[in-house]
Amino acid sequence: MTHILHRSLRHSLPVAVAAEGVTLVDAQGRRYIDASGGAAVSCLGHGHPDVIAAMHAQIDRVAYAHTSFFTTEVAEQLADTLVAGAPAGTSHAYFVSGGSEAVEAALKMARQYFVEIGQPERSHFIARRQSYHGNTLGALAVGGNEWRRRQFAPLLISVTHVSPCYEYRERQAGETAEQYGQRLVQELGAAIDKVGGDRVIAFVAETVVGATAGALVPVPGYLRGVRELCSRHGILLILDEVMCGMGRTGSLHACEQEGVAPDLLVVAKGLGGGYQPIGAVLAQSHIVDAFERGSGLFQHGHTYIGHPVACAAALAVQQVIRRDGLLDAVRRQGEGLAARLRATLGDHPHVGDLRGRGLFRGIELVADRASKAPFDPALRLHARIKAQAMARGLMVYPMGGTIDGQRGDHVLLAPPFIVSDSDLDAIVERLAAAIDAALAETGATTKPR
């Protein structure tokens, strides 16, 4: 009997009692390799002594100070560190307690910016289908996952959704990756024209799509084209790197690899690595300058923004990543993971696509490789894979509805940056066994391999 309203009322969960490095242990003594960092959170793994020591020290110093009365040294230091590592033009960090809160803050910052500069008629957001930006109402509204939105749709602000950048399924025969990207930019241009270029606040996108579509990487030039289009219309670009940012793809920010600087960059998950709940919006100076010249404040706030212990954890996580050269490790081990996935699953009759960047990898499953036909959603293949992986001592992050919120299955991998070669061997071996066992349950053939 539990009094927690868990995520599912139908399944009981193992009780986590210990966690160290890439491993979690349950109350029965079973050990699990955390190959997904939970939901791409635990970038340093579990129980990192430097992060825990930093949190202890901060608790002893100042455990909490409300931000309408005080700032703290640790929050200032974290902001300095983040601004120094952010895209050129970034001047300020706004701290919240997670990804959804950070997206909400970015949406409101963008709207207030236009009110401050005398363009209050801008009231509309454009975002993409097959994206996830969080579960609060504003974040859910810009998100493009049909299943998550459907029952709450009457409560959501109206948002225009355009196509995701989904090369495996949507690049046409005879079209280069670059041409496909430019076609998507044209589609966005048409959507902007339809709303009216002077009525749009911002375009919101995940730089690399995470949970809803499984590590969808943008094609070359696509985000640069988007950036140019937004700038031409005076529309802000908000990149949501809650999942793909803070080193996950091999650069501190995923947008660095696209040569693009957004007006507002949203980060969370890997910022604090799960040691504390924390997210942030990194804002370009023109946004904050407008607030400064205008009302003199950002009209927002929560009780726990800039929480000192959360800031201490995040600062320590970021310092360890830098000190231990972990972005190099993400690139190196990411290639190692991709190579192992190719070797083990590349010819699998039900693996349609292997994709991703750094230690952020997606595996899309198909009933038929030639036609790319997905499995019947009623089979819930993704849930079966998760259960089979857990039974083998492996945490992965599978999801259904990859294609349109209904059809398609994928598995997302996001192991800690400290993952070793032998961990990667075990991850891929257990994952392949879990996929085959799940397929066998559905009656699908796993031959020939």
Would you count residue 356 as binding ligand PLP (CB under 6 A)? no
Site for ligand PLP in 2-61 (CB under 6 A): 39
Reported as half-sphere exposure (CB side, CA atoms, 13 A), residue 136 has a value of: 13
Would you state the structure tokens that stand for residue 123, as one six-digit string?
């009231």
Nearer to ligand PLP, 212 or 344 (CB): 212
Q: What is the DSSP string of 222-233?
A: HHHHHHHHHHHH
Q: Whole-number minimum distance, CB 99 to ligand PLP, in Å?
A: 2
Task: Round to whole Å and give the CA distance between 329 and 248.
Answer: 10
Would you state the structure tokens that stand for residue 265, as one six-digit string?
């960059």
Task: Select the residue interacting with ligand PLP from 109, 205, 208, 211 (CB under 6 A).
Answer: 211
Task: Select the residue interacting with ligand PLP from 33, 75, 103, 309 (CB under 6 A).
Answer: 103
Q: Whole-number minimum distance, CB 139 to ligand PLP, in Å?
A: 6
Helix (H) or strand (E) holding 369: none
Which amino acid type is present at position 12? S
Helix (H, G, I), strand (E, B) or coil at 120: coil
Task: Select the residue interacting with ligand PLP from 210, 250, 262, 408 (CB under 6 A).
Answer: 210
Would you count residue 206 as binding ligand PLP (CB under 6 A)? yes
Task: Select the residue interacting with ligand PLP from 99, 181, 218, 273 (CB under 6 A).
Answer: 99
Which amino acid type is present at position 30? R
Q: How many residues bind ligand PLP (CB under 6 A)?
A: 15
Edge-to-edge strand ranges of the sheet holding 23-26: 16-20, 23-26, 31-34, 394-395
Q: Whole-number minimum distance, CB 322 to ligand PLP, in Å?
A: 23
Show Cβ contacts of residue 258 under 8 Å, excluding neighbours closer than 6 positions. Answer: 207, 218, 222, 223, 224
Would you count residue 98 as binding ligand PLP (CB under 6 A)? yes
Would you count residue 268 as binding ligand PLP (CB under 6 A)? yes
Instruction: Answer for the pair 82, 58: CB distance below 8 angstroms, yes or no.
Output: no
Per CB under 6 A, which region of 61-69, 98-106, 249-257, 399-407 contacts ligand PLP?
Answer: 98-106
Would you count residue 358 as binding ligand PLP (CB under 6 A)? no
Q: Which residues form the interface with ligand PLP (CB under 6 A)? A: 39, 98-100, 103, 132-134, 206, 210-211, 240, 242-243, 268
